[in-house]
Structure 1
């Protein structure tokens, strides 16, 4: 055994960097240009890294154990993602989300169209945990109303995108909100509260700009045909009752009281299915089906032609909807496990940390890393997972709490992706809202001002959480 250890070689800087460069280039060409799936590209990158690890003296068994360890560390977040799928399916089944859409549309004021677009998208994305769902439902309605009022469509689209990703950052139901603390090694609710330091100021700046621009809007309130159709069909499908807000109250209460995340979400899902049976009169079998496969229009008994935007609203959720994210996590952990056990990651970190000494330098390096992965891959998941793995051990060693890392991952990873035209999020927002990414980019104020505030906090030290882990490590070294 000791002989094998002696035969192992420390990776050179070139050997450590090559697998990372190979992965970035492969993602740029395969995913960015050829539109291939990310998962097989990550597996190929892992094989490439494994070839170098074998030359360094590491066995496949050692690499496999490291991969398993990485996947095991990701299982808590994976279970949360599955719970999110359960909850969203039940919220659709009960009619909770459709009710929020139905009444929210009626509160729109033409003088505050941009503010309303931001707030409505933000509220819906916080409730559902999905920026895409918010943009595809209330966002589309907002664009129709803006067109009827003569309000700038790029400005409205930017407000929708900013609001949608406000919720994508802060909602405990969001996949990226769960991925970031998992990648950084922090707690979900600590992560959400810590993001308020950058997200709230960014939201305030956004609202002030939207308020100023919105006062230029004039005209009478116009209700586009799209909004009328959505409201009529939602009203025909569901019975709206104030008690349907109960699941949202339970989720918010669980966040405030710090109840265990998974039991809270699963318990709320069951309560919500019961509400769907009692209030809507739906089949309980369909309720449990919606938890797994997602909610469908057929469960409502609605017999007419359904408007496409209504379909986007209700036919979603279920644990099946998050399985692709789970597979991506496992593939990313395969690459991470190999570069970690072989010492490649350590060499890269040593090289990086030899140049970066200050808190400002560490956070700025994290932002640059997230930007690089986001621009190369166009994936919010990879812009969180890869830099998260790269900096996971750096923050505590420098006396910085892991929630600083998870916040930075979201500030510079999650929200930058919809501003990239070739990303899936950018393409979706542009096609859904009918405005190009470049046109709405200046108006998606929260998406880039959050990064600015993150840099300001890093420079001033305000809102930077410290930890005593570094001191404990130093003390243990002295005692030994």
Structure 2
């Protein structure tokens, strides 16, 4: 067969088969995405050889796909180092303590919404927030006799807002990577939709979430006490956060911003613990922070970060960019998109087509 005679039906069939393989692996067999994507790459290369594409063309597709991901991969590695140094320097624990202290029993729903958003922004993971402090808040809400559906909604929506607005979030970084967008520019543009949604939700939760019950929030008090006892909570924690905003204001790219922030965070670690060895710092950057507070939920929140924690996501980026590069080089994407593109005349049509 000639590689020049790829029909719309064949291109569509190849894409559907690839999507079916990856979807089945992830959804049905509950595999991590890496293996299904790798399987898709192997089958796509097999199809390309059957259609008489040369190995040189296939390798060019891989290289072209990976070029766009080199900077984002470095950013992911630096984010892993930043998370661990922020925790060790007391930045993330301080944000958590200040957030927990905002919880008001009479305005429980809106306050946990704000706190979950704050903690989500601090650690960059909605799932971790929901499965740790979210569960604690859910139990407290049930004790107060509040509608548990509304409590769950406040926890989940707050955590997702925090995840989307955090420069530490893997999904936010991945979105910026695949769209070839500056990380901070991406977050800034997200604010046009996420901030109005946040404000509207906060107003709604304030209206429906007020309670006159007066029950002591012992779980929260215990959490705050444990964080203060085992981490370095101080106003100095604001320094790296302010630095992030200053660098964004100066339009400094993500990579130097992250390097600078890691350096400042390491400086804070030495100021809190002058006898910390460079080997300890290196282990922190490479393997992440490991919490030993004795509280399982808090340990789950704080045990994170490090370069190694990002390698799974980096591998996924490499493989998905490889797949995308091959699809473009072999002309499959262009063949499928050509009939659709002729009908896209307005921004609204383009957005609808993307959705």
TM-score by length of 1: 0.69
Q: Go from structure 1 to structure 2 and tell me whether the alpha carbon gap of 1:136 and 1:254 turns closer, same or farther (over 3 Å shift).
A: farther
Task: Say whether residues 1:349 and 2:325 are aligned partners.
Answer: no
Q: In the alignment, is the contact (CA less than 8 A) between 1:92 and 1:314 conserved in 2? A: yes
- For 1:128, the equivalent position in structure 2 comes to 123
- What is the CA–CA distance in structure 2 between the aligned matches of 1:354 and 1:309, rounded to whole Å? 53
8 Å contact from structure 2 (residues 130, 159) kept in 1: yes
Q: Give the structure 2 partner of residue 411 of structure 1.
A: none
Q: Counterparts of 2:290 and 2:239 in 1: how far apart (Å)?
A: 22
Structure 1, residues 347-370: CA drift from partner, whole Å, max 9, x if none? 111132234332112111212xxx
User: What aligned pairs does 1:392-471 form with structure 2 within 5 A after superposition?
Assistant: none
Does residue 194 (structure 1) correspond to residue 182 (structure 2)? The answer is no
Q: Root-mean-square deviation (CA), in Å?
A: 2.1
Partner of 1:310: 298
- 1:82, CA displacement in angstroms? 0.8
Q: How does 1:332-347 map to 2 (within 5 A)?
A: 332-347=320-335
CA contact (8 A) 2:85 2:284 kept: yes
Contact 2:68–2:180 (Cα < 8 Å) also in 1: no
**5+ long unaligned stretches in structure 2:** none
Say if 2:90 and 2:234, in contact at 8 Å, map to a contact too. no
Question: Is this contact kept in 2: 1:121–1:134, CA < 8 A?
Answer: yes
Q: Which runs of 5+ in 1 are unaligned?
A: 1-6, 368-480
Q: Tell me the CA shift for residue 266 of structure 1.
A: 1.8
1:320 to 308, 311, 323: 308
Which of 98, 113, 117 aligns to 1:118? It is 113
Q: How far apart are 1:81 and its partner, in Å?
A: 0.9
Shift of 1:334: 2.1
Q: Take 1:219 and 1:158, find their aligned partners in 2: how far apart are those partners? A: 21
- Residue 73 of structure 1: CA displacement? 0.9
Quote the Cα distance in structure 2 between the aligned partners of 1:180 and 1:297.
Answer: 29
Give, in whole Å, the separation in 2 of the partners of 1:281 and 1:116: 37
- 1:427-465 Cα shifts (integer Å, max 9, x gaps): xxxxxxxxxxxxxxxxxxxxxxxxxxxxxxxxxxxxxxx
Deviation at 1:141, TM superposition (A): 3.6
Residues 1:287 and 2:281 aligned together: yes
- Change beyond 3 A, Cα 1:234–1:187: closer
The alpha carbon displacement at 1:67 in A equals 0.8
For residues 32 and 282 of structure 1, the distance between their equivalents in structure 2, rounded to whole angstroms, comes to 49
Question: Offset of 1:282 from its aligned partner?
Answer: 6.5
Whole-Å separation in 1 of the counterparts to 2:11 and 2:270: 57
Question: Matched residues in 2 for 1:15 and 1:202: separation?
Answer: 42
**Distance (whole Å) between structure 1 residues aligned to residue 275 and residue 122 of structure 2:** 22
Show CA shifts across 1:205-227 (max 9, x none).
21222111112x22014213x33
Higher relative contact order (CA 8 A, sep 6+): 2
Which residue in 2 is equivalent to 1:86? 81
Tell me if the contact between 1:230 and 1:309 (Cα under 8 Å) persists in the aligned partners: no
Residue from 34, 40, 53 that aligns with 2:35? 40
Aligned pairs for 1:359-398 within 5 A:
359-367=347-355
Question: How far apart are the structure 2 equivalents of 1:229 and 1:277?
Answer: 28
Q: Helix, strand or coil for the counterpart of 1:297? A: coil
Match of 1:472 in 2: none
Contact 1:81–1:178, Cα closer than 8 Å, also in 2: yes
Matched positions, count: 354
- The residue aligned with 1:276 is 269
Report the 3-state secondary structure (helix = DSSP H, G, I; strand = E; otherwise coil) of the residue aligned with 2:297. Answer: helix
Counterpart residue number, 2:229: 236
Counterpart in the other structure of 2:51: 56
Q: TM-score, normalised by structure 2?
A: 0.92
Query: How far 1:323 moved relative to its partner?
Result: 0.8
